[in-house]
């Protein structure tokens, strides 16, 4: 029985699968191969690159005109700047792949023989030349995880490929596809001599860069409907719009949510039970809290300075497209963290994961285990919660903000960490960022009947976060309008507006306050911080 795949290449007949060749621009790829081009295919992690390349290899070999070979060379990463070890690993991985996919056993002997005779800076070129000369068909070589290589090893690989370019197709591969997370232009290679070499200069024979995109809305729906076709288990139609907003078609997220729904939810292993929206929302929350490998790899990029600058502005609601260098925006988009025009986080799940990851050290030390914030009627006591946050912010904000890499969004993130620890005790929190409008919106849902959970009555609360700018009255006017609009869209029972005053010359007695305002018939509680 097929299932949703979240690890490794997808296999037809074993996994629910969108045709991997349909995800490539196949006519463009075939044209570049025919024209003897060397080019790049890049995409964020776990978007289907390997699956597509393996399908391309099988397609070309089935046609019978080329010897097409896929090889993953990530193992050479551990060699780092040791060119001899790194290039030997690359040649052996190509030889091993040729044995597995092309039944060409002789390349292993060739790789071993050349390794004892050749300078490592000519070993790969010599190996590819010898292979091309002895085979009867032109070679199409696909090297995956190229950007995992480090330092002099990566420089040597790129330059050896470049050195044989003029000998193609008779004495070198007709076409080479370099595949990885980043485009070659974004390689920043630090050599053992402390030089910084860009991938573009080391591999200036690149004809084009292709990016493997996300699934389309139609493909996401088609993938899930394969489950219905196989098992008869139905999905509520309203799930699909939520699924799209949560993932924007990011393949791993789409599959991971499907697996959460159809397998990790043990009750839904009974295929006679339909999958409804509330089951879907519960699966989404479990996935967000799981800190799966894919999400951990994603958050690891937050330590890069060029990533941090953009994400910090996004989290604070201040980012606009023209605020950043184009090359930085494109790099972060290539990593899959953001989408462009308009500038935004890549999808709603990443929008939830990133602030939780950034603030996890704070959440770990917040000791709020007792239900002091729950009323006798089982409701969240938001005034009590926000009063406690004001005091927490007054006592601890300076120390925490000094430790933050994300100081620009610090007040917003502190509040989110504070509320996240509370809400994780039984509620749900969602985030929106009003980009360019200096705002962050939080939407809290709290079940009022624990036996029914989210299927029963809910307390719905909106919290609007603003940074004081251009005076209190102007910030207040903007915030009231935005909070009221968001509360109406969420059908919220109550609305709160927090205005953070970051001016160092203003004392805490002036910053900490509370008052009630009315905007278009809706009461909004306004808090200073």
Convert the pLDDT of each residue in 209-257 to its tens digit.
888 889 999 999 999 999 999 999 999 999 999 999 999 999 999 999 9
Residue 265 structure tokens: 């939810």
CB count, 10 Å around CB of 433? 23
pLDDT for residue 370 is more than 70: no
**DSSP code of 512?**
-
- Averaged pLDDT for residues 147-153: 86
> Picking from 69-83, 118-132, 385-399, which range would have the lowest pLDDT averaged per residue?
385-399
* Residue corresponding to tokens 């591999």: 203
CA Rg value for the chain: 27
352 membership: H or E segment, kind and range: helix 348-358
Length in residues, the chain? 529
Peptide bond into 349 cis (omega under 30): no
CB count, 10 Å around CB of 414? 22
- Are β-strands 175-180 and 139-144 bridged in parallel, bridged antiparallel, or unpaired? parallel
Percent of the chain with pLDDT over 70: 88
Residue 89 structure tokens: 């690993």
222 membership: H or E segment, kind and range: helix 217-231
pLDDT, one tens digit per residue, over 198-210 is 444 445 666 678 8
pLDDT, one tens digit per residue, over 165-202 is 999 999 999 999 999 887 766 565 444 554 545 444 44
Q: What is the mean pLDDT of the chain?
A: 87
Residue 294 structure tokens: 């894919």
Could you tell me which of 239, 211, 207, 208 has the C-alpha nearest to residue 223?
239
Instruction: Kindly list the distances between the CA atom of residue 298 and the CA atoms of 250, 290, 334, 351, 526, in Å, as whole numbers in the listed order.
Output: 13, 13, 12, 12, 35
Express the helix, strand and coil content of the chain in percent, nearest 5 each: 55, 15, 30
Contact present, 153 and 190 (Cβ < 8 Å): no
Distance, CA of 466 to CA of 500 (rounded, Å): 6
Contact present, 75 and 85 (Cβ < 8 Å): no
**Within a 13 Å sphere around the CA of 479, how many CA atoms are in the beta-carbon half?**
31
**DSSP code of 263?**
I
Residue 246 structure tokens: 């949560």
Could you tell me which of 96, 85, 168 has the C-alpha nearest to residue 125?
168
Distance, CA of 413 to CA of 287 (rounded, Å): 21
Contact present, 202 and 147 (Cβ < 8 Å): no
Could you tell me which of 371, 368, 310, 376 has the C-alpha nearest to residue 343?
310
Distance, CA of 310 to CA of 305 (rounded, Å): 9
Distance, CA of 257 to CA of 247 (rounded, Å): 9
pLDDT computed for residue 423 by the predictor: 67
Tell me the three state secondary structure of residue 519: strand
pTM: 0.84
pLDDT for residue 343 is more than 70: yes
Q: Is 297 exposed, middle or buried (0-12, 13-18, 19+ CB in 10 A)?
A: middle
41 membership: H or E segment, kind and range: strand 38-42
pLDDT, one tens digit per residue, over 483-507 is 999 999 999 999 999 999 988 888 9
- How far from each other are the two terminal CA atoms of the chain, in whole angstroms? 55
Contact present, 111 and 105 (Cβ < 8 Å): no
Residue 519 structure tokens: 């905007």
């Amino acid at each position: 029985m097929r299932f949703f795949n979240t690890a490794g290449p997808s296999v037809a007949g074993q996994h629910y699968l969108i045709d991997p060749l349909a995800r490539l621009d196949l006519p463009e790829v075939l044209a570049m191969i025919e024209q003897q081009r060397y080019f790049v295919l890049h995409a964020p992690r776990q978007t289907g690159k390997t699956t597509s390349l393996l399908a391309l290899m099988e397609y070309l070999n089935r046609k019978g005109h080329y010897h097409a070979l896929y090889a993953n060379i990530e193992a050479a990463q551990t060699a780092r700047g040791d060119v001899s070890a790194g290039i030997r690993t690359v040649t052996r991985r190509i030889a091993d792949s040729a044995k597995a996919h092309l039944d060409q056993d002789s390349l292993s002997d060739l790789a071993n023989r050349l390794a004892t005779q050749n300078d490592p800076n000519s070993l790969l070129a010599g190996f590819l030349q010898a292979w091309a000369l002895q085979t009867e068909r032109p070679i199409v070589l696909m090297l995956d995880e190229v950007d995992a290589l480090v330092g002099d090893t990566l420089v040597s690989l790129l330059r050896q490929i470049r050195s044989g370019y003029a000998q193609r197709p008779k004495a070198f591969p007709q076409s080479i596809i370099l595949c990885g997370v980043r485009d070659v232009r974004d390689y920043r290679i630090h050599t053992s001599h402390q030089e910084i070499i860009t991938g573009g200069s080391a591999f200036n024979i690149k004809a084009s860069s292709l990016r493997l995109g996300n699934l389309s809305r139609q493909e996401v729906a088609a993938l899930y409907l394969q489950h219905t076709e196989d098992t008869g288990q139905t999905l509520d139609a309203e799930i699909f719009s939520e699924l799209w907003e949560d993932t924007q078609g990011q393949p791993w997220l789409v599959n991971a949510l499907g697996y959460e729904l159809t397998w990790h939810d043990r009750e839904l292993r009974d295929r006679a039970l339909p999958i409804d929206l509330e089951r879907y929302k519960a699966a989404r929350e479990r996935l967000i809290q799981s800190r799966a490998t894919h999400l951990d790899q994603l958050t690891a990029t937050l330590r890069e300075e060029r990533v941090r600058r953009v994400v910090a502005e996004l989290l604070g609601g201040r980012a606009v497209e023209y605020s950043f260098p184009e090359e930085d925006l494109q790099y972060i988009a290539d990593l899959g963290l953001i989408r462009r025009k308009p500038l935004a986080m890549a999808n709603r799940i990443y929008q939830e994961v990133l602030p939780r990851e950034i603030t996890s050290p704070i959440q770990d030390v917040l000791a709020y285990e007792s239900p002091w914030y729950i009323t006798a009627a089982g409701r969240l006591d938001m005034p009590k919660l926000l009063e406690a946050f004001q005091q927490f912010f007054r006592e601890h904000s300076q120390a925490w903000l000094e430790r933050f890499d994300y100081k620009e969004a610090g007040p917003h993130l502190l509040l989110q960490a504070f509320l996240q620890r509370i809400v994780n005790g039984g509620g749900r929190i969602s985030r929106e960022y009003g980009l360019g409008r200096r705002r962050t919106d939080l939407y809290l849902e709290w079940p009022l009947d624990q036996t029914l959970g989210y299927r029963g009555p809910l307390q719905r609360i909106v919290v609007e976060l603003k940074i004081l700018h251009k005076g209190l009255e102007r910030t207040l006017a903007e915030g009231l309008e935005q909070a009221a609009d968001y509360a109406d869209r969420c059908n919220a029972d109550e609305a709160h507006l927090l205005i953070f005053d970051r001016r160092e010359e203003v004392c805490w007695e002036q910053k900490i306050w509370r008052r009630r305002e009315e905007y278009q018939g809706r009461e909004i509680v306004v808090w200073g911080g």
